[in-house]
Amino acid sequence: MYSRWLLMGRMFHEALRARGVPTEMVVYPGEGHGIRQPHAQERSLLEAVYPLVRTGDVWVADRNFCTLGLLWGILGRGGFFVLRQHGGLGGERLGQRKAKGRCETGRVYEQRLRLQNEVGQVLVVRRITVAPGQPTREGDTEIHVLTNLPADKV
């Protein structure tokens, strides 16, 4: 699994660079898709990520990295995020979700989500939902992605 995820990460990294998007890839030695060492879980490494965020950067990450700390860390440094929502990260859904069309894998919806961190700061993000025609390998019937990218910039 390590080589597959690393390869996918490198392909994504190279595609961004080929399009002139400034990008940086971080690889932790001996680790694959996720940190396997019990004393060094993925989330424990997030503090090291914050200094890498630059104004205008767009950070894309899987749900294992979707924490309030990371969202505010990126936002606080002027960056943007596109993160798959972790099941443990709740939030208050605002209004009804709106159908936005279809993609290759299913129907797409959008809804605003209100998040609040431990010191009471509030952030309203766009919650993009893809409802695939059939469940994912993990059995998910919906995939939620959180972003602070303005709709007109996507």
Q: Is residue 91 included in any domain, yes or no?
A: yes
- Flag whether 7 is in a domain: no
**pLDDT at residue 40, as a whole number:** 44
Judge whether 142 lies within some domain.
Answer: yes
Range of 49's domain?
41-153
Those residues with Cβ within 8 angstroms of residue 112's Cβ, 6 or more apart along the chain or in another chain: 93, 94, 95, 124, 125, 126, 127
Residue keyed to tokens 């899987």: 62
pLDDT over 70 for what percent of the chain? 80
Kindly report, residue by residue over 50-85, the tens digit of the pLDDT: 888 889 988 888 887 888 888 999 999 999 999 999
| Domain membership flag for residue 129 | yes
Measured distance CA(141)–CA(151) in Å, rounded = 24
The total number of structural domains that make up the chain: 1
In a domain, 128, yes or no: yes
Q: Is the dihedral of CA 107, 111, 77, 87 positive or negative?
A: negative
